A and B are shown apart, each in its own frame.
Chain A
Amino acid sequence: MPKLIKNGEIVDNTYVWQQDVDASASDTTIVPMQKWLDNQDSIGNVAGIWIDAGEGVEPLAGVDLSQFEVIGINFPSFMDGRGFSYARLLRERLNYTGEIRALGSFMADQQGYLIRCGFNSFEFAEDVNLDIALTLNKPFNVAYQGDVADPRPIFLRRG
């Protein structure tokens, strides 16, 4: 079974990131957001949905997100930082508390920022050594800004 990093541990990846819109959905698939939105009534149980860069989270306003085990966010390139905002909006505006999974071309060195924006799982490309990646997930032990874990900026936390 393929592995991923979740909540700071290397675990089995029990879901399938489904990129093909025509593939059939099941309760272990993470399906494209738009496909789910278009077929909510017929699609049945899915593990979750994934958002592509450019789609944004606005289409999810009004959707009960607690029905998803996981929401994936795709990084078409590690230079494309839109997903950082999407995760924050999912957590801070849409109050989603389930798993947010990084998909696609993100880098291990971005985990620190990704976690602060609300990601808690990372489906790396196959050639990434997960043991090494795991050591890179907390480059800083202090931060100036508030984030999803602690909304207080430094000026509310300095002694």
Chain B
Amino acid sequence: MVDLAYLRIYTTTVQSFMYQYDAIDQQLVEERVAQFRDQTRRYLNNELKEEEFLPLRLQNGLYIQRYAPMLRIAIPYGMVSSKQLRLLADITRRYDRGYGHFSTRQNLQLNWPKLEDVPDILEELATVEMHAVQTSGNCIRNTTTDQYSGVIADEVADPRPYCELIRQWSTFHPEFAFLPRKFKIAVCATESADRAAVQVHDIGLQLKKNDAGEVGFKVLVGGGLGRTPMIAETISDFIPRTDLLTYLDAIIRVYNQQGRRDNKYKARIKILVKALGIDEFRKRVDAEWEHLRGTESTVPMSEFDRLASFFTEPAYETLEEQPSILTEKLADSSAFARWYERNTFDHKKAGYRIVTLSLKKPGQAPGDATADQMEKAANLADQYSFGELRVSHEQNLVLADVRQDQLVELWEAAKENGFATPTLGLLTDMICCPGGDYCGLANAKSIPIAEQIQETFDNLDYLYDIGEVDLNISGCMNACGHHHVGNIGILGVDKKGAEFYQVSLGGASGHDASIGKILGPSFAQEEVGGVIQKVINVYVDNRTEEERFIDTFRRIGIKPFKEAAYAKAN
């Protein structure tokens, strides 16, 4: 048991712009801790068999990995308060090695906790309304969304109340804890961009309004990466928000009964959708929905109002857009101007900006943050952004509400703490899985490849000239690093016991999602940086002025890249 008195330092109340637990939410996470403590005790006492404990611990985010257990802590739809982040930092220090890994699905992973300590870690998390529920296992996982939710001008509506609705509905759903395979839902609320990768999720929800102005969702189904990457198909153009939960129940009930269970590589919903065809699948879902539609799970307007009431706007001040302290610095300092251009984003409110704290510093594994960094980020959030942060799908942290007249100050502080790598969206803002350094399923290491690419492309002017490129790395075909949907994807493969890397080009994860095409035979580890250099050269030589890498690729096709990559040196 943990000494909860010690934790009181974390429970000072600040005003919150996030969902806050009531007694019921709190009771649930506490009962979960008690349940898992007992399960762990029975396992260590040999009362629970290894194979029985496995699904139970997975539903609590606990993997047993290559060197140690790995604990995946949920950061629901990416929202985390400074108070929570401080406790996370402290947990990595006291129970782990003083750092954590922010994943592409807005979770935080600890790489070295001790199994016996996990119940205590969960108990501490519960004191700040956090948990590790359903971050793994064949159940409905943490729902993810746009890291800019609530602060950009062009969203249809704030997706977070809907994410919270889905979080509650999916948490300990009695019917769907033992699905054929894991199940991931993502929500996007903008037409202009999709930062949640909804097309590669089991269910993707696109918030929209219909012609009558009612809020609802376009529903996509059957996307996913892994061994058989697929882009999702549209199952419904519009489901009113009141019907969202009954419709989700219908989809997953069909999947739970009809999804394949004989082969885990064919068990995702995408395989079922593909096998039946989207029309037949839709027919079956509609038949099920006939029975569920209009039942008690129909969400009343009062619940939307209640949920929305948590995600209130902070007390924004009336500020000048582009204040002189900002414009002067932009004119004076090209380093600042670069950071401003890449790592900050338009805010819906005049005089404010969204700032990304990059976790892609050369020499640091992408997405990793030390305990000190987490505390520093929490302090920066308190000082500059109403005490709240977001975790992005690209494995960075975001301060959503920064005053433009404080950007210079914040930039200086971010630089000191390794958060100001001004490369957001550029080649070296890579997504990278833990790979062979940590993961038992890996065919190859991925972090050294990320390092090699950072070294190959260490000239900022050059990186800016290359412009926007998504480069994603996975250590095996499970695709945790989303290599299929990287403009450049790198996949670790095993070639007669040696670590090799396959390169693919042309993937994308936004509204124009596509799966990359394989360039050709795989490369040895030391060749990868050079190959990526050749690929980039082909782009630079062929691009028109306004083309990004992906645009040039789509225009000229894979052939010139292939020729350059495999040309014999002479």
Contacts and interface: CB of A to CB of B under 8 A. Distances in A.
Contacts of A141: 27, 31
| Chain A facing B: main interface SS | loop
B327 interface: no
Interface string A20-36: 00000000000000000
Contact of A140 (B172, B296, B299): B172
B279 interface: no
A56 to B, nearest CB: 6
Contact of A156 (B55, B173, B296): B296
Contact of A144 (B34, B171, B176, B256): B171
A78 B54 CA distance: 11
Contacts of A155: 299-300, 302-303, 306
Nearest to B261: A80
A84 B47 contact: no
Contacts of A156: 296, 300
Size bracket of the B interface: 35 or more
B45 to A, nearest CB: 11
Contacts of B171: 144
A81 B177 contact: yes
Contacts, number: 103
B31 A79 contact: no
Contact of A153 (B39, B175, B245, B253): B245
Given A81-B179, A84-B175, A154 B24 contact: yes
A116 B175 CA distance: 8
Contact of A85 (B31, B47, B256, B303): B256
Nearest to B34: A139
A61 interface: no
Contacts of A143: 28, 172, 174
B31 A81 contact: no
How many chain A residues sit at the interface, stated as a range, is 35 or more
Contact of B168 (A78, A112, A154): A154
A153 B166 CA distance: 12
A99 interface: no
A42 to B, nearest CB: 30
Given A79-B55, A85-B257, A144-B169, A139 B31 contact: yes
Nearest to A147: B174
A88 B296 contact: no
Interface string A118-158: 00000000000000100000011111111100011111101
Interface string A85-123: 110100001000000000000010110111011000000
Interface in B288-333: 291, 295-297, 299-300, 302-303, 306
B31 A107 contact: no
B31 A140 contact: yes
B463 interface: no
B297 A84 contact: no
Contacts of A147: 174
A142 B171 CA distance: 12
Contacts of B34: 139
Contact of B174 (A117, A132, A154): A117
A146 B297 contact: yes
Contacts of A114: 174
A147 B296 CA distance: 10
A110 to B, nearest CB: 8
A85 B253 contact: yes
Contacts of B39: 109
Given A85-B253, A85-B257, A145 B178 contact: no
Contacts of A86: 257
Contacts of A93: 291
A70 B75 CA distance: 43
11 contacts: A78-B52, A78-B178, A85-B257, A113-B175, A140-B32, A140-B172, A141-B27, A151-B296, A153-B296, A156-B300, A158-B22
Closest 6 CB pairs of A and B: A81-B178, A116-B174, A155-B303, A113-B174, A139-B35, A144-B168
Given A145-B174, A156-B296, 16 more contacts: A78-B178, A79-B178, A81-B179, A85-B253, A85-B257, A113-B172, A117-B174, A117-B175, A139-B35, A140-B32, A142-B27, A142-B31, A143-B172, A144-B168, A153-B245, A155-B306
Interface of A: 53, 56, 78-82, 84-86, 88, 93, 107, 109-110, 112-114, 116-117, 132, 139-147, 151-156, 158
Interface of B: 22, 24, 27-28, 31-32, 34-35, 39, 47-48, 52, 55-56, 138, 168-169, 171-179, 245, 253, 256-257, 261, 291, 295-297, 299-300, 302-303, 306
